Structures are given as structure tokens and as C-alpha cells.
Structure 1
Amino acid sequence: MLQHTLERSARTARDAGGLGSLFWRQSIRTRILVIALVPSLLTAGVLTMLLLQQTLAAAEDNARADLLSAARHMAAASQYALISGDAGLLQRTAEQERVQQNLLFTCIQNAEGSARHCAGTADLRSMPAVPAAGAIAEIPGAWMAAHPILMPRTHGNSDMSAIAPAAPALIIGYAIAATSTEPLQTTQRRALLTAASLIIISALLTAFLAWRLSTRLTRRIQHVSQAVDRIAGGNLQIRVEADPSTELGVLEDGINRMAESLQAHEDELQVRIIHATSDLAAKKEEAERANTAKSRFFASASHDLRQPLHALGLFGEALKQRVNSSELKTLAAQISSSISSLETLLNALLDVSRLDAGTIEVRKRHFPASQLFDHIRQQFEGPAAAKGLKLSVRPTSWILHTDPVLLERILINLVSNALRYTPDGRVVVAGRKRGSSLLIQVWDTGIGIPESALENIFEEFVQLNNPERDREKGLGLGLAIVSRTASLLGLRIGVRSRVGHGSVFELEVPLGSTQHISQAEAPALAVAASLQQRLAVVVDDEASILRAMESLFKTWGVGIVAGHSAEDALAQLGEIGAAPDFLITDYSLADNVDGIEVARRFRAAYGADLPVLILTGDTAPDTMQRIGDAGYKIMHKPVRPARLRAALAHLLDKDAHGPGWQDSSFGPVSG
């Protein structure tokens, strides 16, 4: 029982709360109208009902009193006629009373009711019994009252009459009067109509006054709201016309003061922003200058190192092909190995510069992932076994759609890093389908990466566990190149690691289709065109490089015209009367001449289809961008003789290369 009572109370409170919530969700104008109308309507209704009740009661009482008075008057007037039995006089009295009192009908009858004298529309058959004196009987559409007609008293002369009690009056008849209730009903209807009119007029007047009041109030509130919206939109100059003498005026004045305060704070903030922006611009400019200086330093240092390294590599290759002694061959091989290590370190810097410059061309095609995985297995099985590690490359049959060369370089760097930082255990390369991509993962059981370092490992020159900066552990550029290359290919790369348990690097590669695999695909530098009996023209302002190129080309059976400048080489060609098969020129020459200008002069002399290869040790991004925009092929010093020979064969095979080809392959970069 108690629980039922509580539930009912809760429902009542919830319903009341629902109505209250509905009320407060309305607009201010609606709430003001409701607050004004409801009490006024209730008050007007109650007062009108009370007044109406009193009016109707008074009208009914008056009608009853008039009817009883008419019956008494007619009883007094018909007393003599009834005693004398004058029927005519009784009839005239009844008619006269009916007309004078505006009654519905009148009747005078004797005590026995055997003789009646009526006037008006009386239906004697339906007339009820004569009501008692002072009482009113209701008949259809009318009220009826009766008053007894009494025999007059006689006063005797005996002495006993003075002390004897009075005898009851003798009733000799009744005077009956009836009046219609229609006038009273008409009065009631008029009273109701008047009451309704008063209520309506009161409601309209109240609504009008409430509307005027709410309009003035809401108009000011709307102005305040609009001002707040403009202030929120940033227009802090807006102000509201305030009347501090009213409560709303206090609010308006507060909003104005708030806007003034915000304006002051904004002005102060603008000043701070200007100063901060100026400081930031200065620091940005300083950082850009430092970055430009760094790039110039790397480019200059790289160029200065590449020139002799390039010549050294060419001399080393020529030496290997000319010596016959096993001891000298071993020495030449050691020289070539040292040159190769130094070239790898320099190429790491070159790769970063080329990626930052955006000069690497992405060539997407459809190819089997198994081919890529086989290359990884063949390249790293030996190094893994030499370190006592197990390399597991799990087979896959999926087709990929991306640049196979750049993707292979990413995996080469990841696997190389995994082998370097795994003292024992194994390295696993695997791929599994995820949606419309293949998730390629490189797992290792190495030393792992601290969680605090995961966000920094893709930055330049970041190395873990190499505080002494041992060159054998790399430069810290490998993962930076991986990140940039993945971004260039539009691939997402991720890493998860636990210290002491190992790491996993993964990237999602879009899946391709077997229908789009070209059967004629071949490695980009595997063109087997012969260079023998060709005439090459080489332009370089370094005498050592010209001598090295002459020695190398002679071992290849290639004729060569070597000049320190375009004028020198053109003059030599003019003397022998021969046209070159291809041009190799350095980019940076003496007297501020560049390789692009040399190439244009030779093509002007020997045709626009003359194959041109520009060699440079300059790794500045703008230099690479300029050569690429000019449409010439580019290779960076130092160039390994085998790659140079393959590139020239590719360049001379007009069906094997397209416009815009450049040396876009990366080598694996340490750490």
C-alpha cells in the first residue's frame, strides 16, 4: 500500500514537472502571456460567476415575490364577489388581475373547487392541486401560487367576546395566479451573455496589455541577444542602449561593460599576437637560413667528396680489369670495398636530399609480392646466416600495386635494421591481407625500442644504443628514408616494440590485379645493349675524372672525347669529324657554366635526340629539381662503373626508357 502511494506521488510529481518543463521551454513572450492571462481569467471568471449567481437569485426571488403578491391582492379583491356569488364580478376580477399583473392566467374558486372563474391560458384539467399559502408550484413553463380567500370576521357586543379566543378564519375559496417563466429565463440568458462578454473583454484587455508589456520586454531582450551574438561573432564594437534604472537595464549595462572588457583584451591579444608572429617569423627565417646553410654545407661537402670519390671508383674499376696478379686483384678488391662503404654513407645523405626535393618519380605497377619477397630472401639469407640468425620470409601469392623499386628499398632498410639490432633469434618477413591492402610486417627478436623513443626513430640522425656514433652501426638515416619513401608512395607505416623482446614494423600496401601484370616487365637497369664501337663525349672540369673515364671506357671498348668545357669537346669533335653517340657532362663546371647549358649546346649541334646523362655531386634539392624539370637524365657521383654501364646501355636503347628517367634507386642505408 505504501509503495503504491509513493509510486502515485512520483507520477504526480513527474507530470507536474513535465508541465513545468513545457512551460519553461516556451518563449518569454508566451510565458508572460500565460502568467498574465491565467490569473486574470480565473479572477474574472470567479467574480463574474458570483455576480451572475446573485443576479439570477435576485431575479428569481423577485419573480416569486411578485407572484405571491399578485395572489394575495386578487384574494382580497375577490372576497366580496365570492361571498355574494356574483360570477360576473368574479370573472372580471380574475381578468383584471391577470392584465394588471401581467400573469399567464388567474383563477378564483370556492373552497370545494366546484366553481372556478379563470382568465388567461389556463388548462384546468392539467392544473395541479392548489398549493399552500406562500408556496409556489412549478408547472410546465410557469409558476403557480394560491392565496386563501377568507370569510370576514364579525365582532359581537357581548362581554365574553373580549376575553374569548379568536375563532379560526373560515376559508371560502382560493385566488390562484400563474406567471410564465420565460421572462426569468430571458433574464438569465442575458445575464449569462453579459458575464461571458465581461470575461471575454477582460481576457482581451489583459492579453493586449500583456502583449504590449511582453513586446517591450522581449524587444529589449532580443536586442540584448543580438548584441551577444554579434559579440560572440567577434564584433566587439557593438553596444546596447541601456537604462540602468531597470533590472533589464542593469543587464544591458553589464553586457556593454563585458564587450568593452573583451575589446580591451582583444586589443591586448592582438598586440601580443603581432609580437609573437614577428618573433616566430624571425625564428622561422633564422631556422630556414640555418636549414639552407645546412643543405648548402651538405651539398658542398658532398660535392667536394664525391668528385675525388667518383674518380677513385673509376680508377679502381679500371685497375681491377687491368691487373693479373692475384695479390694485386685482392688489393684492388679491398680498395673497391672501401670505396663502396664510403659511397653508401654519402648516398644516405643524397637519398634524404632527393626525397626532400621531391625529384624521385613514382612508377606504380602491378606485380607479384612473391617476387619482392624472393629478392629479400636472396639478399639477406647470407648476412643473416653469417650472424647466426634465422631469416624466415613467408611465401605469399598476393598481387601488389605500387612502385616495386621504392617498396623494395623500404623493405631492404627494415630488414637490414632488424638484422643489425638482433643479436640472436630470428627475423620474419610476412604479409597478410587486411581489407583491400596487404599488411607487410618485419618481425625481429632484437633489443626492442623504448616506448618513449617510438615517436623519434623516424627522424634524421636518431640512433639507439650507439652513443659512440660507431660508423659500422650506421648514420641514423635509414628509418628517416623509410618514412619519407612510404609517404611518397602514400603508404601507412607503423611500429610496435617491447624492450628486450623485439620489434615489428608494418606497412599497408594496396592490392593489385593479375590482369594488369605486364609479361614484358624487366629490371630497369637490365638492358643488355652493347656499348662497344660507340663514341662518347665527356665534359668535366676535373682532370682526374676525365683520365679515369678515359681509362674505364677503353676497357669497355668505347671511344671517348674528353674536354674540360663544351668548347673544348666541340673543337675536338670538329677535328676528327665525328658525331657522338651520347654525352656525359658534369653539372657544375668552371665559369658558372652548368651541365644543362652544355647539353643544350650539344643537342643544338648534333640533334635534339642526342642521349644526355648529367653527373653531379651536388645533392641540393633545387639542383635536382632544376635538372629534372629540364628533362635530362641524372646520376649522382660517385657512380659505380657497373651502374654507369647499365645506365648508358639503358639510355642508348630508345625503346627501353621513357622521358624523365633518372637514377631513382636507393641502396640500403645503415641505421
Structure 2
Amino acid sequence: MNIGWDIRTRVLIVALVPTIVLGILLTTSLTFSRLSDQEDAMRMQGQALARQLGSAAEFGLISDNREQLQRLATSALTSSDLQGVSIFDRKGGLLAVAGMQAHSTNMLTGDSSIQMLSNQMLRISEPVRATSPVKSTGKQKMQASNALLGQIVVLVSQEQLEQLKWRQVATALGTLIIVLCGSVILSFYMSATVSKPIWRIAQAMTDIGRGKLDTRVPVEGRGSLRNLAEGINEMAARLAVVRDDMAQRIDAATSQLRERTEDAERANLAKSRFLAAASHDLRQPMHALGLFIADLARKQHSAESRLLIDRIAASAEAMENLLDSLLDISKLDAGVVTANPRPFALAPLFERIETDYGPSARERGLRLRVRPTQLWVHSDPLLFERILMNLVSNALRYTLKGTVFVVARKRGDHVLIEVLDSGVGIPQEEQAAIFQEFVQLANPARDRSKGLGLGLAIVRRLADLLYHPITLRSEPGRGSIFGVMLPRAPEENQQTQPVLLDTEQEFVGKIVAVIDDDTLAQESLVGLLRAWGCFVVAADGPDKLMLSLAEVEVEPDILVSDYRLPGHRNGLDVIAELRHRFGPGLPALLLSGDTGPETLRSATDQGIPLLHKPVRPAKLRAALAHLLGRQGTPEA
């Protein structure tokens, strides 16, 4: 049992308990010994008195002189303790009595006896024997020496003995109390002399532990406590020196780190500006190249020319994939991508996975098995679809033969969606690295057909954004199992959304206004739109566009504008001006080579859809079809 006694209490207990126990034991022992001695002395005194009376009564008993015996008994009562004297003959007959009368004892034994009566009286009987042969006066008969003549019985009061006992007990208790008081005073004094220095040392250690290194312990006494106090003071002084030295080092390191951080921030800002400018300047020609290739592919060509166009398109697509992946990474790192989780069914997503990736799997001699499911989950459907597509694409890319499975399993209140492949597998020590950018374990030659090494990096960032744990189990040569854990949602009634037809016939006769200050980008976009059957009015600025529209006397059905334009106005300002001129319902699409988060936030705040260059023709066609399809609806 742990009792929270302080050191002073413990010192007092150690000092007092043995003293109290020893004092009680000694006082009790001495008192009882003293009382026993006094009781024995009283008995011996009464017995001696009885013997003296017996010697004096010897002649009276021989001569049967009762008068003499009576005087002898009466004279014996002068003692304060003696309460009665009785003299009996050898037959037990009472010859003389003084004071309280006592009965004779058994005369046959002729022995002395001491008996305690109920009235606190001590009864002492003593036989009287002849000390020498004598003649009896009556019949002149000779009596032998030591013959029994009679018996003396005295009654001794123990009242004085009882009073003496109580005085002895009171004296013993008083002595014990005095000794205990002295012990307590001495213990408190000794406790103070021992516990106070220790308490000061403990308090000083507490203050030092809280950082008060200027605390010092008074050096008192001698011996161990003095050495301990001096040691603590020396320790505190050294700690203060070390703390001051450490504070100076920390200040110097902090200052140096601040300078390096500022240098790194300046370098990072310069790098960001350079990358933003380089990205914009690179995306502009890539955007034009993609549109030119799409326009060129629509025309009739020979087989050799068609093969060359396909190879050019594949190279351009690889570059566009790289730029799109880098854009996705930068968006996720910049925090401009926000999740909009809601309940949705997995069945349509699994059907799209099988439809989109089934043909490519069969072309590679692989089998894609998507197990049907009726489960519902809670997540952002668009972002999660990107996660699952990247995992399936990665599995197909690194599987040389066999099967890729996509399954969904219940796990309590969650759903575990796994992508299993029979590919090359991933060593344990490399599994954490594959989620980094541009890491491809089985592609040291950087073969573009095996991807760019950004798919799993995007998966990790999207999973962190959605708070979906990613699991990986893999062994080299035995394939891999990637898993994503999502919250399970209750099934809801699905409402079929109207599908917008994405055909080029929708654009025939549509008037499209185009603003782009880059000549190649403008020409490629105008050529592609005209190939789709649109009537296009293009210019490099809003003023020229207004003049061109006035010349042909038409109003645009939709406006496509670049974000960065000459002068102080950008694409959002131009869209606002043209909506003020042609009505607030004018559909508008913003194109930009800027991948910074500011551009995306500005467009999102104003409700303008933004496509980053290079824009694939299919994506551009879908965006235009969506905007034109909303025209005239209540939402527009």
C-alpha cells in the first residue's frame, strides 16, 4: 500500500513509535513489579506481626491466662493496617479478640496460611507452638517442645495498599506522559532539522525542472545534506551555462535557417514563375498542333500519309498526356481541386471500366474481369473514377499475361474495391516509392507505352483528398493487389440523366466567336470549328471581334476566348463585355495555357468553364455541345 507521507511525517514516525512503545513497556513492567513488591511486603509484615503475637501469647496459652491474651490482642491494634486480632487455643476455641473477629482455620495442619477475603481483607493465620518443654499448671502434665498451643489470626486491611497502587500508577502515567512529551518535542526538533533541508532541496529541484535555473539551495549543516545541497547548486549553475549556450546556438541556427528558407522561397517563386511561363508557352503550340492534326485527319490521304498522321497524332497525344498529368499534379498540390462527395452506385462505373479498357486488354492478349456489384458508396464520383481508372490502367500496363480483376467487397460499414493483376509484382522495399512522381520500376528505358510514372502519384493525392485509405499487397513474380476503402452508402433511386448527343451535326450553322492572340492557336481552332460546320468569326482582341461581327451582321451563339490577351484585359473581362453587349445568357468557354490556381479560381468564381491547353478535339467538342445544349433551358 502506497501512503503519501512526506519525509517529515516519516521522520516523526520513526522517532516517536519506538520511544512510545519502549516507554509503555518499561512503565508497565516497572509499575507492576513495584506493586507486586509492595503486596509481598504487606503480606510479610502481617505474617511477621502474627508470629510476634504468637511468641508473646505462648505463655498465656500455656497458662490459659485470657486476660493477658486480651491485653496482648488489644495492644496489637495500634498498627494502622491491622483491623482485627483473634487468639484461639489448640482446639479452636476463642480465647481473646480485638477489633474485627476472624474465624480460626484448620488446626489439624498446624501450618501458616494467608487468605484474601472478599472485603479486601488479608487473613493471616499463624500457629503458636511451645518453644521448650513445660508443665501444665492444671494437671502438672509435661508438654513436649514444639507442641501446638493455639493459633493467632490477624486481619490486615488492603485499603492502604490499594491507595498506594493508585498513587504508583498515577506516578507511572505522569512519568510516561512527561517522557512522551519530551520525545515528541525532541522528534519535532530532529524532524525539522532533517526534513526542512530535504524539503528545500526538493523544492529547488522542482523549480530547476521548471526552468528556473537561477534557483539555489541554502547550504546548511554538514555531512551528506551539505554535500547534496552543494551538488545541486553546482548542477543548476552548469545547466544555466548550457542553456545559455544552447539558446545562442538555436538563435544562430534559426537565423541561418530563416535566411535559407527565404532563399528557397525566392528560388521556388522564381522556379514557379519560370515553369508557369514555360508551361504557357509550351501549351500554346501543342494546342495548335493538336487541333491541326485533328483537322488534317479528317481529310482523305494515302495509306502512307495516314500512317504518318497517326504517328504524329500519337506523339502529340503522348505530349498532351504528360502535360495533363503534370497539370493534375499541380492542381492537387495547389489545393484547387475540391471534393464533392455524395452517394452513388458502383455498377455504372464498373460498366464503364469494362467498356473502356476491355478492348485494349484483349488487344494485349489479357483478360479483364469486372465483377458486377449492386453496392453504393459515398465519395466524389468523378475523382474516384479517376482513381479506379488509373489503377486499372496501371495493372494492364504491367501485366504481360493473365487476368486483371476488379471486385468490390463489403467490409462492415465500408466497401473495399480491389484491382488484382498477375503482373511482375513489386518488391516490399519499393512499394512506398511507386507512389512518387516519375517512378517506374519496370521501365528503366522510359518506354512511353508503359506510361509516364504519374498515375499512382495522382492516385495517392486523390485518395488523400477523399480520405480513402490505399492498400497494396504484392510479391515479385506473383502480381499485385491495390485496394481502396470507401464508406458504404444506402441504396437510392437512380434518376436517369438526359444524354447530350455529341455529334458534329450539332454544330452545323452555329456562329462561334473566337478570341485568341496566338496566330497558330487561332488558326487551328478556326479550322477545326469550320470543319465541324460552324460559322466562325475570329479576332485577336475584343474590339476587332466586335467590328468583325458588325461587318457580317451576326450575333454569336457561343464565345470561345483565350484567358491571356494583350493589354490589361483578360478572357474573363472580354466574356463579361460581350455578355453585356449580346445578353447575359451568351454561352462562353475559356481556354488557357496558364495552369496556376489563380486562373482556375477566377473562372470557377464566375461560373465560366475552363479548359487548359492543349485541348483535345473530343474534349472541346463535348464542352461546346454541353454549352450549346444548355442554351435556352431554364438553367441558362
TM-score by length of 1: 0.82
What does 1:21-60 correspond to in 2, within 5 Å?
Answer: 27-60=6-39
Q: Distance in 1 between matches of 2:70 and 2:114?
A: 23
Contact 1:295 1:620 in 2 (8 A): no
Map of 1:377 onto structure 2: 354
Please state if 1:144 is matched with 2:123: yes
Alpha-carbon shift at residue 433 of structure 1 (Å): 1.6
Alpha-carbon shift at residue 89 of structure 1 (Å): 5.3
Alpha-carbon shift at residue 30 of structure 1 (Å): 4.1
What does 1:156-555 correspond to in 2, within 5 Å?
Answer: 168=145, 172-243=149-220, 245-321=222-298, 323-324=299-300, 335-515=312-492, 517-521=493-497, 530-555=506-531
Contact 2:102 2:154 in 1 (8 A): no
Q: Distance in 1 between matches of 2:231 and 2:72?
A: 89
Alpha-carbon shift at residue 480 of structure 1 (Å): 0.9
Q: 1:457 to 1:151 in 2, by over 3 A?
A: closer
Alpha-carbon shift at residue 564 of structure 1 (Å): 1.6
Please state if 1:115 is matched with 2:90: no
Match of 1:620 among 596, 599, 621: 596
Contact 1:535 1:559 in 2 (8 A): yes
Alpha-carbon shift at residue 624 of structure 1 (Å): 3.0
Match of 2:560 among 584, 602, 620: 584
Please state if 1:561 is matched with 2:561: no
Map of 2:50 onto structure 1: 71
Q: Distance in 1 between matches of 2:554 and 2:500?
A: 31
1:459-513 CA deviation, whole Å, 9 max, x = no partner?
1122223333333333221111111111122111122221222222111122222
Alpha-carbon shift at residue 44 of structure 1 (Å): 1.9
Map of 2:137 onto structure 1: none
Alpha-carbon shift at residue 79 of structure 1 (Å): 6.0
Q: Distance in 2 between matches of 1:207 and 1:436?
A: 71
The letter of the residue matching 1:612 is A
The letter of the residue matching 2:35 is L
Contact 1:550 1:562 in 2 (8 A): yes
Match of 1:97 among 54, 76, 82: 76
Q: Which moved more, 1:595-604 or 1:517-526?
A: 517-526
Q: Distance in 2 between matches of 1:266 and 1:305?
A: 55
Map of 1:7 onto structure 2: none
Q: Distance in 1 between matches of 2:502 and 2:71?
A: 150
The letter of the residue matching 1:97 is A
1:375-424 CA deviation, whole Å, 9 max, x = no partner?
22222222222222222222222222222222222222222222222222
Aligned residue pairs, count: 627
State the identity %.
Answer: 38
1:499-539 CA deviation, whole Å, 9 max, x = no partner?
22222211112222222x53134679979994455443322
Alpha-carbon shift at residue 360 of structure 1 (Å): 2.3
Q: Distance in 1 between matches of 2:501 and 2:230?
A: 81
Q: Distance in 1 between matches of 2:386 and 2:533?
A: 33
Match of 2:610 among 634, 643, 659: 634
Contact 1:133 1:145 in 2 (8 A): no
1:284-303 CA deviation, whole Å, 9 max, x = no partner?
44444444444334332221
Alpha-carbon shift at residue 59 of structure 1 (Å): 0.9
1:78-101 CA deviation, whole Å, 9 max, x = no partner?
567666656455445423422444
SS in 2 for 1:104: strand
Q: 1:439 to 1:529 in 2, by over 3 A?
A: farther
Q: Which moved more, 1:250-259 or 1:634-643?
A: 250-259
Match of 1:599 among 562, 571, 575: 575
Contact 2:86 2:98 in 1 (8 A): yes
SS in 2 for 1:511: strand
Q: Distance in 2 between matches of 1:52 and 1:112?
A: 44
Q: Distance in 2 between matches of 1:493 and 1:537?
A: 46
The letter of the residue matching 1:61 is D
Structure 2 residues not aligned, in runs of 5+: 135-142
Alpha-carbon shift at residue 616 of structure 1 (Å): 0.7
Contact 1:75 1:149 in 2 (8 A): yes
Contact 1:525 1:646 in 2 (8 A): no
SS in 2 for 1:460: coil
SS in 1 for 2:372: coil
TM-score by length of 2: 0.87
Q: Distance in 1 between matches of 2:614 and 2:450?
A: 22
SS in 2 for 1:206: helix
Contact 1:448 1:497 in 2 (8 A): yes
Contact 1:345 1:475 in 2 (8 A): yes
Map of 1:8 onto structure 2: none
The letter of the residue matching 1:585 is S
Q: Distance in 2 between matches of 1:307 and 1:134?
A: 144
Alpha-carbon shift at residue 372 of structure 1 (Å): 1.6
Q: Distance in 1 between matches of 2:245 and 2:576?
A: 59
CA RMSD of aligned residues (A): 3.7
The letter of the residue matching 2:440 is Q
Q: Distance in 1 between matches of 2:112 and 2:505?
A: 146
